[in-house]
Amino acid sequence: MEIIDIRGDVLFNNVSSTPEVAGWISARVVQAARACNDGESLFDVCDSIDQNLHEYASAAYDFDSGDIKESISDGCAGADILIVESIEITQAHRGRRVGLLAMRRTIDTFGDSCAAVVIKPFPLQFNARPNHSSPDRPEWETRMAMSSFDADEKAAFAKLRKYWTQLGFRRIGRTEYYALDMQTKQPRCEDLMR
């Protein structure tokens, strides 16, 4: 398997109570080295799953060489990438930097063998589609309080992009995608909470 799917709940652990669901995450690991070793075309592997994965991979890879683009990483860490497709934080937990901490934990857990992490900062209110990782949770749109999101598209995009640059994400050329070179030092969780 060259693509690993990651889907789960973002838990908020309040010291005085049991952890509660603060949101959901959806990510994938593209094992480019494994595809190469198996004689698979990286383009075909990414294109065979779905259009969304193919678009992320097109932003990150030079499909002719099978290498990660030089503008993202120098290739010393390999060519595998972690794609974080969405992090959704419920209204009750917004403003606490839970999204940054969830991203940091996801990177720590699944990005160890990856050269880069790739995201597409896209505000949910302009592409709302519920994450179906937990079928027994309350109505998604109500829990997310979609009506409270900023209606100004330009401002919402700018705010979200600025938010993710706190972890070191940088825009990939003129694309809508941002990447984090895993060779760069990550901020400590304590620093993210400030």
Task: Express each pLDDT in 68-82 by its tens digit.
Answer: 998 898 877 788 999
| Domains of the chain and any CATH numbers | 3-192 (3.40.630.30)
Alpha-carbon distances of 98 from 10, 68, 87, rounded to whole Å: 8, 29, 10
Mean pLDDT on 10-32: 86
- What is the reported pLDDT for 48? 86
For the whole model, what pTM was predicted?
A: 0.83
d(CA 62, CA 88): 30
Residue type, 73: S
Task: Express each pLDDT in 135-159 by its tens digit.
Answer: 544 466 666 666 666 667 788 788 8
* pLDDT greater than 70 at residue 98: yes
* pLDDT greater than 70 at residue 182: yes
- Cα torsion angle, 115, 181, 85, 141, sign: positive
- Work out the pLDDT band at 185, boundaries 50, 70, 90: confident
Alpha-carbon distances of 109 from 39, 113, 178, rounded to whole Å: 28, 10, 20
95-100 contact pairs (CB < 8 A, 24+): 96/12, 97/192, 97/193, 98/10, 98/12, 98/22, 98/23, 99/23, 99/163, 100/163, 100/166, 100/167, 100/192
- What is the reported pLDDT for 60? 94
